[in-house]
Amino acid sequence: MTTRRLGRTDLYIEPLIFGCNVLGWTLEESAAFTVLDAYVDAGFTAVDTADSYGRGKSETILGNWMKARGNRDKVLVFTKVGSDVGQGHRDLSAKWIAEEVDASLKRLQTDRIDLYQSHWPDPNTPQEETLEAFDRLVKAGKVRWIGSSNQDENLLGEALAISKSKAIARYQTVQNEFNLYDRSSFEGAVQDLCVKEEVSGIGYFSLARGFLSGKYRSITDADKSARGKAAVDKYLNPKGERILGALDAVSKRNGTTPAAVAIAWIGAQPGVGGPIASATSAEQLKSLTDGARLKLSADDLKQLTDAGR
């Protein structure tokens, strides 16, 4: 399995990032340990969380797992700052970043974060202030690299220009929603900028809230999970059915699952460092890791891409 470099860094990841948003929500600590163990046993290392996931519970469970396993040096920890976690607004101010990074480090039980990401744009804080705050964390050794999330091409381009002009830490990644159905937040202008500037795209909701696994094919399937109703309401329509049809055909040709194919499609797109996906069982996880290793043909990729247009 070939690793991929994130941005202009010496940070290399396998082509899958485990999404820790489920920790403390649909996956409590003991079950989380089992799934995380299976993930690293399968040869993967990158995990993505945020201070806002469970109001810190996800980071806490992840920190407990790394301590229990003694594997911090073998895991790449990605987390985020900037969501409203009780302060009443999104916050990327220098003051909040300086406070919250220490809170995250404490919950994670570590002395550094491999990739620290701005979670959402903060219209009340200039990007220059945010980037300078991140740069101080890099210089202090608390953070190795920085990334962004939910930025369009204008915000990302502005941020890269500020970092270049001031010779400070730059965003090496942009984490936007990206899957076979939801493509507009990354595909096009953001993707082109990533390719040009060597910024790695990290797609979240890679399975479209589970819809692309094929588990939601009728209204009655909405009760299958916590996200079932949202998935059915948004995706169970002619476009979604076309995509499921393409996933079924391609997965059958490749002897794998629709979820694996959906993951492989993301990984094959230009500018992508890796997709984020979550699992709550070893069975679900296997589809994700299979997808990270799956190489689709040009015909497979075209069929899938065309179905989502």
pLDDT per residue of the chain (309 residues) written in tens, 0 to 9: 789 999 999 999 999 999 999 999 999 999 999 999 999 999 999 999 999 999 999 999 999 999 999 999 999 999 999 999 988 999 999 999 999 999 999 999 999 999 999 999 999 999 999 999 999 999 999 999 999 999 999 999 999 999 999 999 999 999 999 999 999 999 999 999 999 999 999 999 999 999 999 999 988 877 888 778 888 899 999 999 999 999 999 999 999 999 999 999 999 999 999 999 999 999 999 999 999 999 999 999 999 999 998
Token match 């009760």: residue?
223
Query: According to the model, what pLDDT value does residue 227 have?
Result: 77
Which residues, 6 or more positions from 279, have their beta carbon under 8 angstroms from its beta carbon?
18, 22, 35, 39, 285, 287, 288
Position 252 in a domain: no
Q: What is the pLDDT of residue 186?
A: 98
Which DSSP symbol is given to 27?
A: B
The verdict on residue 15 lying in a domain is: yes
Looking at the domain assignment, is residue 249 inside a domain?
no
Classify strands 12-13 and 4-5 as parallel, antiparallel or unpaired: antiparallel
pLDDT of residue 231: 87
DSSP 220-271: GGGGGSTTHHHHHHHH-SHHHHHHHHHHHHHHHHHTS-HHHHHHHHHHTSTT
According to the model, what pLDDT value does residue 228 have?
A: 81
In order of 60, 131, 226, the CA distances from 198 in angstroms are: 32, 18, 37
Question: For position 222, what pLDDT does the model report?
Answer: 77
Contact 80, 118 (CB under 8 A): yes
Q: What is the pLDDT of residue 218?
A: 86
Residue closest to 179 by CA, chosen among 222, 239, 221: 239
Q: What angle, 0 to 180 degrees and rounded to 10, lies between the N-to-C axes of helices 282-293 and 258-267? A: 40
Catalytic residues: 53
Q: Are the beta carbons of 216 and 232 closer than 8 angstroms?
A: yes
> CB neighbours (10 Å) of residue 252?
11
Q: What is the pLDDT of residue 226?
A: 74
User: Torsions phi, psi of 165, nearest 5?
Assistant: -70, -30
289 falls within a domain: yes
| The residue count for the chain | 309
Question: Is position 101 within any domain?
Answer: yes
How many domains does one find in the chain? 1
47 lies in some domain = yes
Residue 153, domain extent: 4-216+257-297
pLDDT at position 289, please? 98
Tokens describing residue 112: 């550094």
Q: Is residue 238 part of a domain?
A: no
Asked whether residue 303 is assigned to any structural domain, the reply reads: no
Contact of 120 with 90, CB cutoff 8 Å: yes
Distance CA 277, CA 170 (A): 25
Residue 204 maps to which CATH number?
A: 3.20.20.100
The CA–CA distances, whole Å, from 112 to 105, 125, 220, 260, 295 equal 7, 25, 45, 32, 34
- Rounded to whole angstroms, how far apart are CA atoms 165 and 135? 13
Residue (of 270, 249, 301, 112) closest to 187 by Cα position: 270
